[in-house]
Amino acid sequence: MRYRDFLDLGYRPRESDVVCRFHLEPGDLPLEEAAGAVAAESSIGTWTELRTLKPYMVELRARVFEMEGQAISVAYPLELFEPGNLSNLLSSVAGNIFGMSAISRLKLLDIMLPEALLRSYPGPRYGIEGVRNLLGIRGRPLVGTIIKPKLGLNVQDHARVAYEAWRGGCDIVKDDENLADQGFNPFEDRVIETLEMRDRAEEETGERKAYLVNITAETGEMLRRAEYVEDHGGRYVMIDILTTGFAALQTLRKADLKLALHGHRAGHAAFTRPRRHGIAMRVIAKLARFAGIDQLHVGTAVGKMAEPRERVLENVEALKTPMGRLKPALPVASGGLHPGLVPELLKIFGPDVIIQAGGGVHGHPGGTEAGARAMRQAVEAALEGIPLKEYAKGRPELAAALERWSRP
């Protein structure tokens, strides 16, 4: 079979097919042949005719069934994939095809799985409703922070900063993506002392609080750390889903643990940021949801991150749109946020979101506790439809935050 044999523009995908959408710019082949190369090299074909290709295998070929300019859609027979194996899925539809000379640029824009394959993935244990039940929060966004500076604090200072954030009104406090088990802040000591501060904050505020400790490590060690967190009363862990890999995430989800899983997307922009090459964040969000993440960073559309609003909304949709029995996952907005951006965030995300502010809490002129209180006040104002400047009257924490981060 030649590359052109993988074009079938009259084909209509079956309900059992996996369907992918790509942006394709050809390299040393015409566009149609390059499109066929994508389908061939990700299924049963290659650059030359094969004596080992049997007639019965022809029905296993992927088919380019739609071409609109440089946008192509490819249907893959279900039989090409091992159920429950995300690594196999990604190696197939986003493997060698990115390195072929037949293409100059290729971006995987979306992936749709049939129900037969969706059933092989567990999806989130908790999802949106489960996380809300875990923390007892209804009708409003969850407010979170990241310990800053991200590296360098010792255990005692780390735990103290977490306590001040919880006491000020944060529901969630999490480690940053590169805090692991460094000598200045050992993992086990950090877990014990920070969870003790969580318990103290819960007793004082009457609210449930969550500490999202980063367990990212080699898979066996990651499981041991997750068990350590659960054994010491933790309810949550955080994992860098791309640097550990989807197989590690699947292993963690399948473990006999009751922990909610928070997904950090460290490194995603290497795949997602190029507009015409790589893998869209929407695809990564879907894969993480298949594997069982309960909540995931998806961008902000405001703040310091680069993704525009339409891309962020695509990522949110990937976490929330109905997918068989898979629960919807909770989007996380994080990156350059502060109280002044809260009303805009609620317009973009609605109430089902975690608003995480690191510098926007700890950089408050009154310190971490005041910064957390200002974030909660901003959420209250946005939910009530009251302009922030008006709501800040008589609320010095919010007033100071608006002055600190006011727009020119």
Domain end marker among 75, 99, 118: 118
Tallying the residues shown for the chain, one arrives at 408
Considering the domain architecture, whether residues 20 and 146 belong to the same structural domain is answered as no
The two tokens of residue 52 are 């080992």
% of the chain beyond a pLDDT of 70: 100
Cα 198 off chain centre by: 25
CB 86 within 8 A of CB 113: no
Active site residue 107: no
Number of domains in the chain: 2
Which tokens in the block code for residue 146?
């990241």
How distant is the alpha carbon of residue 314 from its chain centre?
12
Per the listing, tokens 């059933």 go with: 119
Question: Which residue, among 277, 283, 337, 270, has the nearest Cα to 314 in the 3D structure?
Answer: 283
Tell me, what's the pLDDT at 24? 98
Residue 4 burial (C-beta neighbours within 10 Å; 0-12, 13-18, 19+): middle
Of 45-59, 85-99, 344-358, give the lowest mean pLDDT range: 45-59
Range of the domain at 296: 127-403
Q: Are residues 40 and 162 in the same domain?
A: no
Which of 107, 148, 158, 262 is labelled catalytic? 148
pLDDT of residue 290: 98
pLDDT of res. 408: 45
Q: Which of 158, 174, 264, 327 is catalytic?
A: 264
**159-189 core/surface letters (b: 16 or more CB in 10 A; e: else):** bbbbbbbbbbbbbbbbbbbebbeeeebebee
| C-alpha to C-alpha distances, 111 to 94, 283, 399, nearest whole angstrom | 11, 6, 45
- pLDDT attached to residue 52: 87
Residues 398 and 310 in one domain: yes
Q: Are residues 111 and 137 in the same domain?
A: no
- Residue with the two structure tokens 């505020």: 205
- Give bridge partners of residue 265 from the DSSP assignment: none
User: Residue 28 above 90 pLDDT?
Assistant: yes
Boundary of a domain, candidates 83, 101, 118: 118
**pLDDT (0 to 100) of residue 320:** 98
Q: Which residues contact 62 (CB under 8 A, 6 or more apart)?
A: 6, 39, 40, 42, 43, 44, 74, 75, 76, 77, 80
Per-residue exposure over 319-352, b if at least 16 CB sit within 10 Å of its own CB, e if not: bbeebeebbbbbbbbbbebbbbbbbbbbebbeeb
229, 348: one domain? yes
What DSSP assignment string belongs to 342-398? HHHHHHHH-SS-EEE-SHHHHTSTT-HHHHHHHHHHHHHHHHHT--HHHHTTT-HHH
Active site (annotated) includes residue 148:
yes
Are residues 198 and 160 part of one domain?
A: yes
Name beta bridge partners: 21.
73, 110
280 and 178 fall within a common domain: yes
- Taking a C-beta distance cutoff of 8 angstroms, is the pair 213, 191 a contact? yes
If you average pLDDT over residues 175-203, what whole number do you get? 97
In this prediction, residue 407 carries a pLDDT of: 63
H or E stretch at 130: helix 127-135
- Across the chain, mean pLDDT equals 96
- Domain shared by 291 and 144, yes or no: yes
Whether residue 2 is contained in a domain is answered as no
Say what the alpha-carbon torsion angle 86, 330, 310, 285 is, to the nearest 10 degrees. -10
169 in the same domain as 141: yes
Q: What is the pLDDT of residues 375-389, one digit of tens each?
A: 999 999 999 999 999
Q: Are residues 283 and 393 in the same domain?
A: yes
What pLDDT was estimated at residue 345? 96
Could you report how far apart the first and last alpha carbons of the chain are, in Å?
62
Cα separation, 313 vs 285, in Å, equals: 12
With a CB cutoff of 8 Å and minimum separation 6, the contacts of 1 are 40, 44, 45, 49, 53, 58, 61
At residue 305, does pLDDT exceed 80?
no
246 and 104, same structural domain?
no
pLDDT tens digits, one per residue of 207-247: 999 999 999 999 999 999 999 999 999 999 999 999 999 99
Percent of the chain with pLDDT over 90: 93
Distance set, CA 245 to CA 93, 198, 237, 285 (Å): 16, 30, 16, 13
Decide which of 86, 118, 150 is a domain's last residue: 118
337: nearest Cα among 301, 383, 390, 369: 301
pTM for the predicted model, two decimal places: 0.96
Q: Domain holding 266: CATH number? A: 3.20.20.110
Distance of CA 151 to the CA centre of its chain: 22
Q: Are strands 71-76 and 18-26 parallel, antiparallel or unpaired?
A: antiparallel
- How would you classify the pairing of strands 142-146 and 103-112? unpaired
Residue 13 within any structural domain of the chain: yes
Q: Are residues 243 and 271 in the same domain?
A: yes
- Write the DSSP symbol of residue 101: T
Q: How far apart are CA 382 and CA 344, in angstroms?
A: 9
Is pLDDT of 54 > 90?
Answer: no
Residue 53 reports pLDDT greater than 90? no
